[in-house]
Structure 1
Amino acid sequence: MKLNCPSCGALMSLDVIVAHDGAREAVQMAMNLPAPLGKLIIQYLTLFRPQKRQLTLDRVADILAELLPLILAERISRNGKDHKIAQFVWAAGLKEIMIRHKDKPLTTPLKNHGYLFEILISQAATAEAKLEAKVEQQRRQPPAREQDQRSGGMKNVGEHLAGMKAALKGQTEPTISFSELTAMAKQKELERNQQSETNHE
């Protein structure tokens, strides 16, 4: 039974796939990848198809054998330097190269994965920068509980002060004595000063 891949154009036989060690292992590895990656890799294979010929099964197996271990390891080497490439970056990079090819066709067939690697490295750097910015923002922003405690403390002082004013007008009974209210305000001021000294350290 002959099969022709609708994406990459490779002509293959089920019997040959089973008998071909490289193809069988590559297909097994591809099946273990997250769903979006498998489809994107098949689309990427089209960039290696010769103009007037179909991709051979050997060539498909070679390309998959080159890419799949790198995707699973989430790491590539480029110009003597290692780069961590998470699988979500691989998906974004494969999408990006196909978008660029659609907007401005690349010179095909591609001879290697250099162009894809450049895209992956750039997108990985962008993702890392966004993550670092988010971590820094969270570090600078006090925990929500601490903010609630601060605002809650001042709210209590304000409520007691309003109660004192109402009591002075004879509208209600005071909920706290003036000395207690003064002590509370001094305590909050001391806490703010201590927090300010900690931040300057």
Structure 2
Amino acid sequence: MTKPTEIIACPACGTELTLEHLVGSLDDERAFARLVALSVPMAHLVVRYIALFAPAKQRLTLRKKVRLIQQLLPDLQRLAITHKGREWPAPLDAWEQAIEQMLAARDAARLQLPLTGHGYLYAVLAGLAEKHAALAEQRPRRDTVTVRGQTMEIGTALDVVYGCKDPALAAIEESSRKAAPMPDAVREHIRRIKGAQGGAA
């Protein structure tokens, strides 16, 4: 005689579950955790982040967790995001900093939960990228120096300092050196025009 299946009621919502369903669900959760740990960058932080989507006193379904991670995974792998029509670099340390900021905001009750999308995270990532770009612009290049208000390469600066060259003129000459060379076809065309003008004279 087959032993009757034991029925267990969820203490939170009253849903009836068999013991087999409960054990199967736990196995699925463990398999999901192993899969995330192996395939998702910064898995421990990503799992904590997607928990922000869970309503109060509830857990996300396995299907919802997978869907949320699938939405993030392409950008995590390419280390960039698209936010408000613009591409932003998003290295892993930026993702870590952004998620940590959100977790801190949650702990300080400054984050409206549950989350309904990734917009907040991507706004933080874009803000970090913008701040990083601004700092990079403010930092002088290692191979340049400033002489009398003009930023120039070190070699040009030495000419100015030791060769008594005017810094403004040196900057113009440096810019000319960096300009793209004139194409051969254009140079030949100019030569022909000059030759024609000389013949007409």
TM-score (norm 1): 0.57
Alignment CA distance shift 1:200-1:48 (3 Å): same
Question: Residue 45 in 1 paired to residue 42 in 2?
Answer: no
Shift of 1:96: 1.2
Determine whether 1:29 maps to 2:39: yes
Mapped partners of 2:66, 2:37: distance in 1: 8
1:198 to 167, 170, 174: 170
> CA offset at residue 126 of structure 1?
0.5
The sequence identity of aligned pairs, in percent, is: 21
Q: How far 1:117 sits from its partner (Å)?
A: 0.8
1:11-44 deviations in Å (ceiling 9; x for gaps): 95235654x7xx77544322xx2xxx32221221
Residue 176 (structure 1) aligns with: none
Separation (CA, whole Å) in 2 of partners of 1:114 and 1:80: 13
**Compared CA separation, residues 103 and 139, structure 1 to 2 (3 A):** farther
Counterpart selection for 2:26 from 13, 18, 21: 13
Deviation at 1:49, TM superposition (A): 1.3
Instruction: State the partner residue of 1:128.
Output: 133
Instruction: Look up the match of 2:17.
Output: none
Q: Which amino acid aligns with 1:38?
A: A
Residue 124 of structure 2 aligns to a residue whose secondary structure is helix
Task: Tell me, yes or no, if the aligned pair for 1:26 and 1:68 is still in contact at 8 Å.
Answer: no
Gap regions ≥5 residues in structure 2: 1-23, 147-153, 174-201
1: CA distance, partners of 2:82 / 2:166:
47
Q: How does 1:74-89 map to 2 (within 5 A)?
A: 74-89=79-94
Amino acid at match of 1:40: L
- Cα drift, residue 199 of structure 1: 4.2
**Change beyond 3 A, Cα 1:65–1:192:** same
Aligned partner letter, 1:133: Q
CA contact (8 A) 1:26 1:65 kept: no
Distance 1:13 1:78, change over 3 A: same
Query: Which amino acid counterpart does residue 13 of structure 1 have in structure 2?
Result: L
CA contact (8 A) 1:50 1:108 kept: yes
- For the Cα contact (< 8 Å) 1:76–1:82, is it kept in 2? yes
Distance 2:82 2:137 in 1: 23
Q: What is the distance in 2 between the residues matched to 1:191 and 1:16? A: 71
Contact 2:55 2:114 in 1 (8 A): yes
User: Whole-Å Cα distance in 2 between the matches of residues 81 and 89 of structure 1?
Assistant: 17
Q: How does 1:159-198 map to 2 (within 5 A)?
A: 191-194=162-165, 196=167, 197-198=169-170
| Count of residue correspondences | 140
Relative to structure 1, the CA distance from residue 17 to residue 69 in structure 2 (aligned partners, 3 Å threshold; closer, same or farther) is: farther
Tell me what 2:99 maps to. 94
